[in-house]
Amino acid sequence: MTRLWNDPADFADEMIAGFLAANERSVRGVPGGVVRSTVVPEGQVAVVIGGGSGHYPAFGGLVGQGLAHGAVMGNLFASPSTQQVHTVAKAADRGAGVFLSYGNYAGDVLNFDAAQERLRAEGIACETVAVTDDIFSASPAEKHKRRGIAGDLTVFRTAAAAAEAGYDLAGVTRVASRANDRTRSIGVAFSGCTLPGAPEPLFTVPAGRMAIGLGIHGEPGIDETDIPTADGLAELLVSRLLEEIPDGIEPAGAHVVPILNGLGSLKYEEMFVVYRRIARLLTDAGLVLVDPHVGEYCTSFDMAGTSLTLFWLDDELEQLWETPVDTPAYRRGSVAPAARAEVHDSDPVAAAAIEPGDEDSAAAASVVHAAVQRIVDTVDEHVEEFGRIDAVAGDGDHGIGMQRGSHAALAAATGAVQAGAGAATTLTRAADAWADRAGGTSGALWGVILNAIAARLGDAGRPDAAAIAAGVDAGARGVMEYGKAEIGDKTLVDALVPFGATLTDQVDAGSSLADAWRTAAADATRAAAATADLLPRMGRARAHGQHSVGTPDPGAHSLALIVTAVGELLADLERNSDD
C-alpha cells in the first residue's frame, strides 16, 4: 500500500516537484512536465513522451541525453491534457519537428492527437507512434487496439537514438514504428496497487493466485491462475511471447532484447531468479540475447508484478539501440557531458483579457457559476463511488479526475464572474480549466461538452432554452467525433445522447428549460443505469469485457448525477422567479 502523502489531490504535483529538485542535472520543469536541462542542438528532432504519473521511471525519468527531449506528466494514472502536451512539445522543439510517443490508451490518444493538430496548425511538424506491445489486451488481428506497457522503452529509445543520429522527422517516425511492430510484452500481478489516500487497492488477487494480462493503470488482469514457481512463470511468459513472433522473423539466430520489468514492489532478487530461466529458454529457442534488462522501467505504483518484453532487432534497430543514454533513471553506455542550457525566464503567456458581458449575460454568467458549483458539490459527494465503479474494469481514477477538473472549472468560473464576464466567457474559461486540470479521457470530453454549450450562450443578452439545447446537442456530437464512441459502447455517450435528444424534444414542444432539463435528466439516469448490461467496446475497460457487466459505466453514471443536480438548480431558480 501507499503510505506517504500530504493531500492525495496534490500528490502528483508534489512528486514532480521533488523529482525536479533531485535531478536538475538532467531535467528542468515546464508547465505540464519536464524537458532536458542540457543543450540540445538546433535542427534535432525533439522526442516527447508522456502519460499519467505513477509509472516511474516512465515518463520523466527517461528524459536526458540519448533518450527523450521532454516528458508530459499527467495526474496519477490519468493522461495529460492537450494543453500540457502542447506546452511541453513547444518547449522541446528545436526547429526540426516533434515526435510524440505514448502508451495506446484512450485518454492519451485523445489529448496527444489534439495537441498534434494544434502544433501542426502553428507550423510545427509533428508525428506520433502509440505503443501497442501488450499481447494480452487484443488479438493479433486487432493489434492497433493493444495497450502500451513496458514496451514503451524500446520505442522511446529507438526514436530518440534516431534523433541523436540526425534522422529527420520522417526517419524517426519510420524506425519508431518498426520498433513498435517488433515489440511484444505480457505482464502478471500478484497484488493490485493503491493510490495515495485510497482505503484499498484498485483490484485484488486471491491469495495463492496470479493475474495475467494486467494493465499499468491498476486495471485487473484478464485471466487468473495459481502462482507458479519462478521457473514456471518464466516458462509461461516466454511461451506466450514466442507464440507471436513478429511477421518476417526467423527465430533461429534472431537478435532480441529481453526486458524483465518490475511493476513496483516485486524484489529484484526474485526477478533475477525468474530471468535465469528466461535466458535459458530464449537461448534454447535459438535466439541471440542482446543487452538484457532486469529492473524497473515502467511501473504501476506499488503493484507486485512483472512483465516480460521481447524486442526483435534488425541491423538498423540494433545499431540505434547501442546509442549511449544518460537520464535520471536509466543509463546505458558512456555519454559525454553536455553543457547546461541557458534558460531565459519570461512571463508566461497571459490569458486573454476578459471583456465584460452586458447586464443580461452577466446575470446568466451567475447561473453558469451556480451550475458549476452544483457540479463540484455532486462530484465531491460521489467521488469515492466514481472511483469504486471505475476500478471494476478500469483504473479507478474517475473520481479523482472529475474532482480535479470540476474544482478547476469552479475556480476559473469564479474569476470570470468576478471580472464581469458574460455567460459564454465564464463557461469557456471553466471548460478549458476542467480539461487542462483533469486530463484523461473524461477531462477532454467534459471540455468538449462545456465548450460546445458555451459557444451557444453568447456574452450579450440572455440565452434561451433553444440555444442551450442546441449547445448540449453540439456537445454530444463533438464527444462522439472526438472520442470515436457511439451508443452501445458503454461510455459517457450512452447517457449524453439521450439527454441531449430529450432536452431538444422537450424544448421544441414548448417546455420551460427547467422542466425540459429535468425530463432529459431522468432519461439520462435510466440510460446510465442500463449501461450495466453492456460490454465495453471503448477505453481501458474494453480489454476486461465481462468484468464490467453488472456495473454502470462511470462516465455515464457521473454525467447522469451531474445533469440531475443542475436540473434541481434550474427548478429552484424557476420557482424563485415565479415568487
* Nearest by Cα to 53 from 439, 559, 486, 508: 439
Q: In angstroms, rounded to a whole number, what is the distance separating the alpha carbons of residues 314 and 255?
A: 7
Long-range interactions of 176-179: CB distance < 8 A, separation 24+: 176/99, 176/101, 176/129, 177/129, 178/314, 178/317, 179/154, 179/155, 179/311, 179/317
Within 10 angstroms of residue 30's Cβ, the number of other Cβ atoms is 17
E-strand spans in 238-333? Answer: 255-262, 288-289, 293-295, 304-312, 325-326, 331-332
Annotated catalytic residue within 217, 293, 382, 398: 217
* Nearest by Cα to 265 from 206, 320, 189, 334: 189
Residue burial 11-26, b: 16+ Cβ < 10 Å; e: rest:
bbeebbeebbeebeeb
Question: Can 217 be counted among the known catalytic residues?
Answer: yes
Q: In angstroms, rounded to a whole number, what is the distance separating the alpha carbons of residues 192 and 203?
A: 5
E-strand spans in 82-142? Answer: 98-103, 126-131
Residues 6+ apart with CB under 8 A from 460: 357, 358, 360, 361, 422
Q: How buried is residue 494: exposed, middle or buried, by Cβ count under 10 Å (0-12/13-18/19+)?
A: buried
Q: What is the dihedral of CA 515, 518, 522, 528, to 10 degrees?
A: 140
Q: In angstroms, rounded to a whole number, what is the distance separating the alpha carbons of residues 208 and 290?
A: 34
Q: In angstroms, rounded to a whole number, what is the distance separating the alpha carbons of residues 145 and 169?
A: 25
Q: What is the dihedral of CA 453, 456, 460, 464, to 10 degrees?
A: -90
Give 530's DSSP letter: H
**Pairing of the two strands 183-191 and 304-312:** antiparallel
Is residue 552 within 8 Å of residue 531, measured between CB atoms?
Answer: yes
Tell me which residues are annotated as active site. Answer: 217
